[in-house]
Structure 1
């Protein structure tokens, strides 16, 4: 904050200069006015002296006129260049009073309406925290400074969960939901915090939150994991296995939590078998789609494009939403190129290649870098999303 206050002080000095400079000028004008009055007094004294000498017979009329003219010339020479005095209606106290009130009033207004706390928080967040406690304090101050920031509330709630403060986290997640809406991820986080805050006791409210979250997004990971935990604690091992298997499908292959999750599934399986039960076989997973596409530019277009022009390669459903199911971005300089479009490249989780039986491949050149509009385009014939044979796509037509 030191540099901020230095800058504010510099601006204050500039503002005060507009008030103080006129005062200094008025003092200079007063000095000039006093000097002019003194010169006039000296002139009058000289004229009186000449008149006395004329009355005593020392000077004749011609000498008297010459002396008077000489005194007048000296007066004019001494007062030449002196501006006429300006009368100030405000007087001297008003600028001095304003010079005192401006900084005081400015400081008071800034402390009331300003954002010094937010400036300080911005400076703090630009530096890495030294401990989790310091990070928590920063987030708490951020929430206090911006109580309507759903993002700040969300991160504070997650931090409370890592510090084993689920009751505090539940209150924060409830505020986040009220601000950001009933998003599935937020509902799952809220339900999880409530579950641990209540000593791992399931309740109708927690059930309602997880049901709402999974209805909006059947793949919401926090709700799936929480339902699996609750089922395991309630000795409903088959349900725990099912929920955790669904969660396992959503995690990336390199996610470290997969090991712990797989361990939980193994323990639930062992307890189910030990109690005389039998693990139900999960339905066969739907094979993921993967299309291999070779993209090239028609020879007649090579002179009409620039190496830096963007090239968007994507697959879209022939019967379904217009949004791309999978997409890659290259430049003209990369052509010819071979890319793979699969479920891992899905723009949205619910819009995967494998969810649509028939798709079309599209390659578009856009100088403006816009995937939805460009100058040149190439399209394939409709093909099955399960196609494994390599495909060829040539950009050869104007994009209309």
Structure 2
């Protein structure tokens, strides 16, 4: 467990990129949205939460609401530094804003403060680290993905990231196998159309 002295300092939490910094979302697979899909969960989650919390800020853009949400979460964490859920929510907010280094930092705090971290925690940190490293699946990212899949063999984020990596490294059949595994898992919220399009595109390269 972290104590107050181990929590992030004001300067660390205040470390922010300019609001105009674009969210870098590369299309990993030509003509499909695989790169975007890896971030879509964070986008959808933060958009929904920002809109729900936006009653006093109805004239703000989604970007401004997201920034407001980050400041609100930071303020709550100053008063409740041991709250793993708040750290995780802050990580999602940073992911939405494309602040991946910050997301890695706070997802790590969420994991350390959670008695039994879930696949969601490990895959979230893996995603943040992946983008912080310029979309490279490093050894550290691989370890986090393995931890996520050990807890949840069909974790969407982990399998999508691995499939995209296989595709980028011209291992098309391996990518297809991972996408098929996702489809067979029949999970709610799965973008089946995008995955099927990716599978069909990979098959074209094999033929």
TM-score range for the pair, normalised by the shorter chain length: 0.5 to 0.7
Residue 145 of structure 1, CA deviation: 2.2
Deviation sequence 1:377-399 (CA, Å, 0-9, x none): xxxxxxxxxxxxxxxxxxxxxxx
* Counterpart for residue 165 of structure 1: 99
TM-score by structure 1 length?
A: 0.35
Return 5+ residue gaps in structure 1 as ranges. 1-124, 274-400
Q: Provide the C-alpha distance between the structure 2 equivalents of 1:238 and 1:183, rounded to a whole number of angstroms.
A: 29
Contact 1:150 1:179 in 2 (8 A): yes
Asked if 1:153 is matched to 2:78, the reply is no
| CA offsets 1:165-218 (integer angstroms, 9 cap, x no match) | 222111111111111143222111111111111001121111111112212221
Q: Which of 131, 139, 144 lines up with 1:204 in the alignment?
A: 139
Q: 1:236 aligns with which of 149, 171, 185?
A: 171
SS of the equivalent of 2:76 reads helix
- CA gap of 1:224–1:149, structure 2 versus 1, over 3 A, is same
Are positions 1:128 and 2:63 aligned together? no
Counterpart secondary structure, 1:202:
coil
CA distance 1:143–1:263, shift in 2 (3 Å): farther
Map of 2:162 onto structure 1: 227
Displacement after TM superposition at 1:252 (Å):
4.2
> Matched residue of 1:147: which SS?
coil
Aligned to 2:78: 144
Residue deviations 1:5-58 (CA, integer Å, cap 9, x gap): xxxxxxxxxxxxxxxxxxxxxxxxxxxxxxxxxxxxxxxxxxxxxxxxxxxxxx
**Residue-by-residue CA offset, 1:307-338 (whole Å, 9 max, x unaligned):** xxxxxxxxxxxxxxxxxxxxxxxxxxxxxxxx
Structure 2 Cα separation of the partners of residues 144 and 251 of structure 1: 40
Aligned equivalent of 1:103: none
Shift of 1:147: 1.4
More strand per residue: 1 or 2? 1
Residue 215 (str. 1) matches residue 140 (str. 2): no
Select the structure that is richer in helix: 2
Deviation at 1:256, TM superposition (A): 6.4
CA shift in 2, pair 1:245/1:154, >3 Å = same
- Identify if the C-alpha distance between structure 1 residues 243 and 256 changes in structure 2 by more than 3 Å, giving closer, same or farther: closer
Match of 1:191 among 126, 129, 146: 126
Question: How is 1:32-47 mapped onto 2 (pairs within 5 angstroms)?
Answer: none
Query: Does the Cα contact within 8 Å between 1:184 and 1:212 map onto a contact in 2?
Result: yes
Alignment of 1:296-315 (within 5 A): none
Seen in structure 2, the aligned counterparts of structure 1 residues 271 and 135 have a Cα distance that, compared at 3 Å, is same
